[in-house]
């Protein structure tokens, strides 16, 4: 009986000690990791090309709920599908930035300095095969919930200009991925669909064109006088000339898409009545010429920037000129042009003994494009 009691006391003592150990363990739980690893959010991989076996720039966004602690243990690993080709490591091929919020579309990003290995203020970046590894700077910690951005290729400009072949897409398939892992703890996967051709060729044809108009094909001076010059008018009654800007009798317009522009010419005889003619004239800086002498000429101005031939400028002190029965260029352009308007004025003077008669002439205007 005494032996049984001693045995019972021994068991009770062992049990009490075990309970005490259990209470101590419960009172001091094992230290947990700094945060519970989570799934990345807002993951996007924006490619400049999705065609198979084609170089492409990539902008990769992701939000880390856990955050990133300083030091290399919290590295970020991005693993591309095995048929992607990543260029050998070059810091200039990448830009890495941290946003000030978890909304990637509106966050303000601060560019981090990249180097081949991490240091106090520099992130390390390494490319091995199809894997990009980012190692955090050792002097800073980034809170959870921030958006991160990695740019690869020619869009990486912070440390120089990235190479076009930084990332080459894989072959044709719809199951390519970028898988996130690493010491920072969060994980996620971005899906990519690489296709045979991601471009659409759009064609169009623009025909060569030229448009030419004359608003009035019948104009006149009315009755000529040796005492005053006359301007032709659209109603054919004419008007007395003066030294000022002459009245426009008709309007010509030209428009063309010709690569080398156009030329505007005229051809025709002087004013003629049977065998009698009125002399052609060269009048410089005078709206009414020299009354009492025979003169016939024209002048023009433009609403655009066409070049008016010398001797034909129509302004406050106009120049009149005329070359009979010879194709003569009076205006030109050297390239395509929208509609240009030409206002044309005509001057006639006669002597006191100019032969009586009904005088007329027909001028032919031609606009020729140089395509």
Give me the residues of the chain with pLDDT under 50, please: 1-34
- Rounded CA-CA distance 248/250 in Å is 6
Taking CA atoms, 218 is separated from 120, 215, 237, 321, in Å, by: 89, 9, 11, 20
| pLDDT tens per residue across span 246-297 | 999 999 999 999 999 999 999 999 999 999 999 999 999 999 999 999 999 9
Query: Quick one: pLDDT at residue 12?
Result: 40
Residue with token string 């006149």: 220
| pLDDT tens per residue across span 152-172 | 999 999 878 899 999 999 999
- Rounded CA-CA distance 257/210 in Å is 7
Ordered structural domains, the chain, with CATH: 41-194 (2.60.40), 210-369 (2.60.40)
Query: Quick one: pLDDT at residue 70?
Result: 79
Query: Quick one: pLDDT at residue 36?
Result: 62
Q: Which residues of 75-97 are buried (b: 16+ CB within 10 A; e: fewer)?
A: bbbbbbbebbbbbeebbebbbbb
* HSE-up (13 A, CA, CB side) for residue 172: 4
Query: Quick one: pLDDT at residue 240?
Result: 98
* HSE-up (13 A, CA, CB side) for residue 347: 35
Taking CA atoms, 34 is separated from 31, 97, 119, in Å, by: 9, 23, 22
Query: Quick one: pLDDT at residue 167?
Result: 97
Query: Quick one: pLDDT at residue 72?
Result: 63
Spatial CB neighbours of 339, under 8 Å, sequence gap ≥ 6: 211, 253, 254, 255, 304
Tell me, rounded to whole angstroms, the distance of Cα 300 from its chain centroid. Answer: 39
- Tell me how crowded residue 211 is: count the other CB atoms within 10 A of its CB: 12
């Amino acid at each position: 009986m005494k032996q049984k009691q001693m045995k019972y006391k021994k068991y009770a003592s062992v049990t009490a000690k075990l309970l005490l150990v259990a209470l101590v363990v419960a009172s001091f739980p094992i230290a947990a990791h700094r945060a519970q690893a989570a799934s990345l959010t807002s993951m996007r991989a924006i490619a400049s090309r999705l065609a198979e076996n084609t170089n492409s720039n990539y902008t990769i966004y992701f939000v880390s709920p856990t955050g990133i602690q300083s030091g290399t243990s919290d590295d970020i690993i991005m693993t591309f599908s095995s048929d992607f080709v990543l260029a050998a490591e070059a810091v200039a091929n990448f830009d890495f930035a941290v946003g000030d919020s978890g909304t990637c579309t509106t966050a303000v990003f601060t560019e981090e300095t990249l180097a081949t290995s991490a240091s106090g203020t520099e992130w390390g970046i390494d490319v091995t095969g199809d894997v990009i590894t980012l190692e955090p700077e050792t002097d800073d910690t980034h809170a959870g919930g921030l958006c991160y951005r990695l740019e690869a290729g020619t869009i990486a400009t912070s440390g120089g200009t990235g190479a076009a072949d930084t990332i080459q897409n894989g072959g044709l398939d719809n199951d390519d991925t970028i898988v996130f892992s690493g010491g920072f703890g969060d994980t996620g996967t971005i899906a990519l669909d690489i296709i045979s051709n991601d471009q659409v060729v759009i064609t169009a044809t623009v025909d060569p064109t030229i448009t030419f108009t004359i608003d009035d094909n019948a104009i006149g001076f009315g009755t000529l006088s040796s005492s005053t010059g006359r301007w032709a008018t659209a109603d054919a009654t004419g008007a007395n000339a003066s030294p000022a800007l002459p009245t426009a009798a008709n309007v010509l317009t030209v428009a063309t898409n010709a690569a080398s522009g156009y030329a505007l010419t005229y051809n025709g005889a002087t004013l003629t009545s049977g065998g009698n003619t009125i002399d052609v004239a060269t009048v410089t800086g005078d709206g009414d010429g020299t009354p009492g002498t025979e003169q016939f000429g024209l002048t023009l101005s433009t609403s655009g920037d066409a070049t008016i031939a010398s001797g034909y400028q129509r302004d406050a002190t106009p120049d009149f000129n005329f070359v009979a029965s010879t194709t003569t260029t009076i205006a030109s352009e050297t390239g395509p042009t929208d509609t240009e308007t030409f206002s044309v004025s005509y001057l006639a003077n006669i002597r006191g003994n100019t032969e009586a008669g009904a005088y007329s002439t027909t001028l032919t205007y031609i606009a020729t494009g140089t395509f």
